[in-house]
Amino acid sequence: MVAGSVGNLIEWYEFGVYGYFATIIAERFFTPEGGGEAEALVKTYASFALAFFFRPVGAALFGRLGDRIGRRPVLVLVISLMTGATTLIGVLPTYAQAGAAAPWLLTFLRILQGLSAGGEFGGAVSVMTEFAPPGRRGLYGSWQSFTVALGLLGGAGAAAVLATVLTEQQLAAWGWRLPFLLTLPLGLGALWLRLRLDETPAFREEGARVTPPAREVAGAIALGAGRIMGWAAAGYTFLVVLPSYLQSSLDASFRQALVATVLANAGFAVTIVPAGLLSDRVGRRPVMVTGALLVAVSSLPLLNLLQDPGASEAVKGAAVLAAGAVVGLMAGPGPALLSEMFPTRVRYTGLGLAYALSNAVFSGCAGLVITETVERTGNVDVPAYYAAVTCAVSALALAAAPGRAARRADAAGDAG
């Protein structure tokens, strides 16, 4: 479990850091002389989204390798690629130093991160669920989501510490680089763990079994992407995009925004593993539908509370903590649900693509869509609408009767 999930921690630590420092990155890399702050932030999130759109490419490429040669060697490769690309961001020249080359170099490294992240999820979840004892796939798979929460918390914590000990000038000048450079020792530790990892029993025993028809696999991928779109959209809205939204739309300070994000991610982390364990007893779909519906009905009241100048900081903190906790209800059972939708021969590729496609559209575009829409319309409720609509659709996909490819999954998951 540790070797499988440690890559997710590093991946989401970096993606979190990029989101938390989005306003500084916008100023340093996307603001030539005369450029506006809003325009630069949109370009920063466009680079963020571009990395997500390379995730499906990475999921297909590395997933195919993982289903052919094994989970272990591919997971070693993707953690090496992620560590190298993230560390290099920490030493990139800024726009003031390299001119127009700076945003292109940053975007190139983001693409490499997207490719490696696309190959990470499918392999990590395959390892954890294929090693899981009978009736414990929900619990084991939930550790993938839990390490996502730890990564986001680690990124938020690093940003909060730097914002506390450094001045705003120091943070903008060089302090933002430190969290990216920290990835190097973390990545080397993860690489050491994965080099010691055995291949999964399910892959070793699969042999030459017949691969299911491509149409059946494609249908399962589409259904899986729909089932987790609410998790993808609400997770990024509340856990990553929130700091920049609070600063740009509600005039919060950098420190206030980070505190809110830490609380949201703490709530997210607390409910993930219990939700995965509960799904082993009552089924994946009931737990995830509950989470999706709760987000759908509570997003707007939550945002209105954050916008209310009369609400106390304690009340606002409790609200974002609860928002993260509700997202955790979807994230806990999600990995096991996806894993059970695909047989071993196509599991790495299938669940990786379902996750990557959903995240490319609904996570990667969250910051770009929310920032641009708020800027154009002046409607500060846009994040709530985005989370609520996607979770409503996700609840419908979860409640819908599964196709042939997914039917075995639901039967296995509901049985625990």
In terms of Cα–Cα distance, which of 182, 55, 72 is closest to 113? 55
Residue 327 has pLDDT above 80, yes or no: yes
* pLDDT, tens digit, 9 for 90 and up, residues 329-340: 999 999 999 999
Confidence tier at 328 by pLDDT (50, 70, 90): very high
Q: Taking residues 355-369, what's their average pLDDT?
A: 83
The phi, psi pair for 223, rounded to 5°, reads -65, -40
Confidence tier at 210 by pLDDT (50, 70, 90): low
> How many distinct structural domains can be found in the chain?
1
Question: Are 225 and 232 a contacting pair, CB within 8 Å?
Answer: no
pLDDT confidence of residue 48: 66
Residue 403 has pLDDT above 80, yes or no: no
pLDDT confidence of residue 212: 78
Give the range of the structural domain holding residue 279, as residue numbers without chain letter: 2-196+213-415
Residue 269 one-letter amino acid: A
pLDDT confidence of residue 239: 80
Q: Taking residues 219-243, what's their average pLDDT?
A: 88
Kindly report the three-state secondary structure assignment for every residue of 17-66. Answer: HHHHCHHHHHHHHCCCCCCCHHHHHHHHHHHHHHHHHCHHHHHHHHHHHH
Question: Residue 202: inside a domain, yes or no?
Answer: no
Q: Is 187 helix (H, G, I), strand (E, B) or coil?
A: helix
Question: Residue 203: inside a domain, yes or no?
Answer: no
Question: Residue 146: inside a domain, yes or no?
Answer: yes
C-alpha to C-alpha distance for 209 and 215, rounded to whole angstroms? 18
Q: What whole-number percentage of the chain has pLDDT above 70? A: 90
Question: Are 295 and 390 a contacting pair, CB within 8 Å?
Answer: no
Query: What kind and span of H or E run contains 96?
Result: helix 95-98
Q: Return the CATH number at 275.
A: 1.20.1250.20
Q: Taking residues 189-194, what's their average pLDDT?
A: 91
Residue 371 has pLDDT above 80, yes or no: no
165: number of CA atoms within 13 Å, CB side? Answer: 9
In terms of Cα–Cα distance, which of 286, 318, 321 is closest to 149? 321
* Mean pLDDT, the chain, integer: 85
- Between 342 and 168, the more confident residue is 342
Question: Are 150 and 15 a contacting pair, CB within 8 Å?
Answer: no
Q: Taking residues 49-56, what's their average pLDDT?
A: 81
Question: Are 326 and 291 a contacting pair, CB within 8 Å?
Answer: yes
* pLDDT, tens digit, 9 for 90 and up, residues 249-272: 777 777 777 788 788 888 999 999
* pLDDT, tens digit, 9 for 90 and up, residues 26-42: 778 877 654 556 666 66
Question: Residue 201: inside a domain, yes or no?
Answer: no
Q: Taking residues 366-389, what's their average pLDDT?
A: 86
Question: Residue 206: inside a domain, yes or no?
Answer: no
Residue 124 has pLDDT above 80, yes or no: yes
C-alpha to C-alpha distance for 57 and 37, rounded to whole angstroms? 31
Q: At 167, list the tokens.
A: 């001045």
- Between 109 and 366, the more confident residue is 109
CA separation (Å) from 415 to 22, 190, 204, 282, 383?
A: 43, 34, 25, 8, 36
Question: Residue 175: inside a domain, yes or no?
Answer: yes
